[in-house]
Amino acid sequence: MTNPSKQNHSVSRHGISKHIVIIGHGAIGLLWAHSLVTAGHQVTLLSHRDTLPDSRQQFITNDGKTVTNNLTFSHDFPEAVDLVLVTTKAYQVHSALSPHLKHISVPIILLHNGMGAVDSLAIDHKHQVVLATTTHGALKNNDTLTHTGLGNTIIGNYQNTDESVLQQWQQRLHHALASVEIHSNIKQPLLLKLAINCVINPLTAIHQCKNGELLNESFQPQIDKLTAELQQIISKLDDDWPHDEISLKKMIMAVAKATANNYSSMAQDVKYQRRTEIDFINGYLISKSHQLGINLIENNELVATLAAGS
């Protein structure tokens, strides 16, 4: 996909300007688009909507400044691309990326809640695939994107990405939207985020409550049982898993506290009757539990309760 002769060699604030295709223009995709454009990069947001969004998009930064950026939305995958960043919902990764996959020879970063979407892709040994997770908060409202919470993005090689290439992208992305770190075993931060999502998302979706309400005493027995199950299975999926039940629960509750005033993505999906990412969150671990002969009673119950309500 990279065509050096066609590359935009203008200089961003932190080096040569790159062309990044972002697939998925939800809150996180737009947050990256505004941040990368502000840092001097060229961004194309791939869209499957019949009517493309207005190119004039407002960005309210985390320190409250309002900026208007001209963003490029396109139905067509552009030429001369340096990076593909996929920020769709987990269940859209396959359909959004598959049509373009055979033409892509540059690194692909998958950044979504949940796990398992990469398993459905027809990637071959040539593809450079990076997995990522972020704790940034962003809210999309019509043509305005608000950066509601500063966070951290962790990236790591999934397959075939050279260390030097990964480091270059870490630096560029970090300059655009700090902080970005590399993890040598990306599965670990993904599993931690998954455990957090397995508790916060379905509980807040079922009870239609803010994340902070999970700190109430009444939720603790169920959260304890869920954490025990999560610890049991995740420690089997990652030999170097650094947590025990107590530290895992602390991490989960710390996120509930830090995002106390937010409605989780799943609480919002249920409220607006949209498809949830449950198949890639609790569902991912449930499918692993079948392979490992473990019965995740609490997780299964959450999935059943959510399904019954939909």
Identify the active-site residue in 102, 193, 257, 271: 193
DSSP string covering 55-67: SEEEEE-TTS-EE
Q: What are 302's two structure tokens?
A: 């959450």
Strand partners, 145: 59, 140
In terms of CB distance, is 62 or 159 closer to ligand PAF?
62
Give the one residue of 123, 177, 255, 285 binding ligand PAF; rule: CB under 6 A.
255
Give the one residue of 17, 44, 197, 276 binding ligand PAF; rule: CB under 6 A.
197
Number of residues that bind ligand PAF (CB under 6 A): 11
- Give yes or no: 210 in active site: no
Give the one residue of 146, 188, 201, 276 binding ligand PAF; rule: CB under 6 A.
201
Q: Is 259 near ligand PAF (CB under 6 A)?
A: yes
Q: Is 134 near ligand PAF (CB under 6 A)?
A: no
SS (H, E, C) 220-284: HHHHHHHHHHHHHHHHHHCCCCCCCHHHHHHHHHHHHHHCCCCCCHHHHHHHCCCCCCHHHCHHH
Residues near 248 by beta carbon (within 8 Å), at least 6 away in sequence = 195, 227, 230, 231, 234
Q: Are 231 and 178 in contact, with CB atoms under 8 Å apart?
A: no
Q: Is 226 near ligand PAF (CB under 6 A)?
A: no
Angle, alpha carbons 4-103-100 (nearest 5°): 125
Give the one residue of 196, 233, 296, 302 binding ligand PAF; rule: CB under 6 A.
196
Q: What are 130's two structure tokens?
A: 């990076």
Q: Which one of the spans 8-16, 42-50, 71-79, 255-263 is the region binding ligand PAF (CB under 6 A)?
A: 255-263
- The minimum distance between CB 88 and ligand PAF, in angstroms, equals 14
Site for ligand PAF in 17-76 (CB under 6 A): none
Give the one residue of 157, 170, 211, 299 binding ligand PAF; rule: CB under 6 A.
211
Q: Is 87 near ligand PAF (CB under 6 A)?
A: no
Backbone angles phi, psi at 2, to 5 degrees: -75, 125
Site for ligand PAF in 155-194 (CB under 6 A): none
Q: Are 301 and 206 in contact, with CB atoms under 8 Å apart?
A: no
Residues marked active site are found at: 193
Which residues form the interface with ligand PAF (CB under 6 A)? 113, 196-197, 200-201, 211, 255, 259, 262, 264-265
